[in-house]
Amino acid sequence: MRFSWQYGAVVVASVLLLRVSTVPGQTTSSGLAQRPPMGWNSWNKFQCDVSEKLIRSIADAIVSTGMKDAGYEYVVVDDCWQTGRDREGNLLADPSRFPSGMKSLSDYIHGKGLKFGMYSDVGYQTCGGRTASRGHEFQDAETFAEWGVDYLKYDWCHSENLDAKGAYTTMSDALKQTGRPIVFSMCEWGSNKPWLWATGIANLWRTTGDIHDCWDCKTEFETGFVLLLDRNVNLASFAGPGHWNDPDMLEVGNGGMTTAEYRSHFSLWSILAAPLIAGNDVRSMTPEIRQILTNSEVIAVDQDPLGEQGERSWKQGDLEVWSRRLADGSRAVVLFNRGLKAARVTVGWEEIGYPSGLTADVRDLWEHREVGPQKGTYGATVESHSVVMVKITPKN
Ligand code: GLA
């Protein structure tokens, strides 16, 4: 049968309806994370230097910089907020850093129209050596619910002798039992291939170890952006509304990459339908960084309601084409140049599921301009370590 893009659009629309109405499991039927979660997390920039003062000022800046309007919603306090437990075993926040307590911080964040996220770990201790949830899962889930937590990132340090699926199911059940809708973010670094088993347990799962704010470097525990990207090839079929692959948080604006490299990082995370969790100091970001993080046309790709993760559709040496099917039958395409010199990269229609004779409108999502109708292919010169990102929409 000859492929028709109109037929493709009808199939896509039907799949979308089917997914929304029939996805099993409480996490999805409760409607959580139907789009990849967007927000901010303290770890990439501040590590253990967290406090209520910092988090409040970040929440203020998320509103004043337009990040909230762009879709960033969850403000997540990562590791090092805990000091221990009280005599009844309840988790305690560090009183010197969070003197008003977590409920008060949560109220402040909710008062800004944002949502509140926290962090714990499957072991007795977190990665930062703080008190974690092992043996207290149901009690901690209740505490989080009482504090008004909307999102829990749950780490995998000190997980010796634990079965990953079992440990994450325990906290997933504990969160569900509270009755409060809490997005569950598994941070198991892809060690046990969570994409094969975590749908229905969590709303998102890390597919890799930690990101480092660099193009392709490697440290003992962290890896640069393009190496993480490579580890996310071939995982697309496991993601969808309510259950996302998470290639780790954004480093955009943290200073280790060029503006072009950050644009590449943001574009490719959007093609991957990745959670967009900013990790920079949004109180002092430059206009260029703000423009990247709030580019509504690229964010619309990430948040596309079909929820289909994109794939690498072509690669030759340093040059690549990544593409993603969107709910309206169009395609988002990233022409990517990993090389050190500018190069021409071309996408052919057949590679993205269109007939070669089709005429389509092409719009540049970073330049915010119509390129004009193209037939069969679209090519552009892509600078070193850069992308050209377009939306390709068949003409009627
Ligand atoms: C692990 C996680 C990171 C961060 C730190 C906190 O390394 O993967 O994202 O949460 O722990 O200690």
Same domain? For 367 and 266 the reply is no
Looking at the domain assignment, is residue 389 inside a domain?
A: yes
Same domain? For 279 and 372 the reply is no
Per the listing, tokens 């714990």 go with 120
Contact 192, 165 (CB under 8 A): yes
Single residue among 280, 302, 324 that ends a domain in this structure: 302
Burial-class residue 139 by CB neighbours within 10 Å (0-12, 13-18, 19+): middle
Task: Evaluate: CB of 43 within 6 angstroms of ligand 1.
Answer: yes
Cα of 369 from ligand 1 centre, angstroms: 39
Cα of 190 from ligand 1 centre, angstroms: 13
pLDDT at 385 over 50: yes
Specify the number of domains making up the chain.
2
Residues annotated as part of the active site: 155, 210
Per-residue pLDDT tens for 11-22? 444 444 444 333
Same domain? For 132 and 166 the reply is yes
Same domain? For 354 and 295 the reply is no
Q: How confident is the model at residue 27 (pLDDT cuts 50, 70, 90)?
A: very low
For position 396, what pLDDT does the model report?
Answer: 72
For position 355, what pLDDT does the model report?
Answer: 97
For position 30, what pLDDT does the model report?
Answer: 59
Same domain? For 61 and 124 the reply is yes
The mean pLDDT of the chain is: 94
With vertex at residue 156, the alpha carbon angle to CA 110 and CA 146, rounded to the nearest 5 degrees, is 30
Same domain? For 287 and 368 the reply is no
Distance from the Cα of residue 296 to its chain's centroid: 16
Cα of 120 from ligand 1 centre, angstroms: 10
Single residue among 302, 329, 347 that ends a domain in this structure: 302
Q: Against a cut of 0.75, is the pTM above it?
A: yes
Task: Evaluate: CB of 79 within 6 angstroms of ligand 1.
Answer: yes
Looking at the domain assignment, is residue 14 inside a domain?
A: no
Per-residue pLDDT tens for 49-69? 999 999 999 999 999 999 999
| Least confident piece of the model among 8-22, 116-130, 175-189, 288-302 | 8-22
Looking at the domain assignment, is residue 8 inside a domain?
A: no
Per-residue pLDDT tens for 243-253? 999 999 999 99
For position 134, what pLDDT does the model report?
Answer: 98
Task: Evaluate: CB of 187 within 6 angstroms of ligand 1.
Answer: yes
Q: How confident is the model at residue 31 (pLDDT cuts 50, 70, 90)?
A: confident
Task: Evaluate: CB of 155 within 6 angstroms of ligand 1.
Answer: yes
Q: Which domain holds residue 385?
A: 310-394
Element (H, E) at 391: strand 386-394
Q: Find, among 298, 330, 301, 324, the residue nearest to 311 by Cα.
A: 324
Looking at the domain assignment, is residue 184 inside a domain?
A: yes
Q: Find, among 345, 346, 328, 285, the residue nearest to 72 by Cα.
A: 285
Q: Find, among 333, 311, 327, the residue nearest to 387 by Cα.
A: 333
Same domain? For 158 and 252 the reply is yes
Looking at the domain assignment, is residue 323 inside a domain?
A: yes
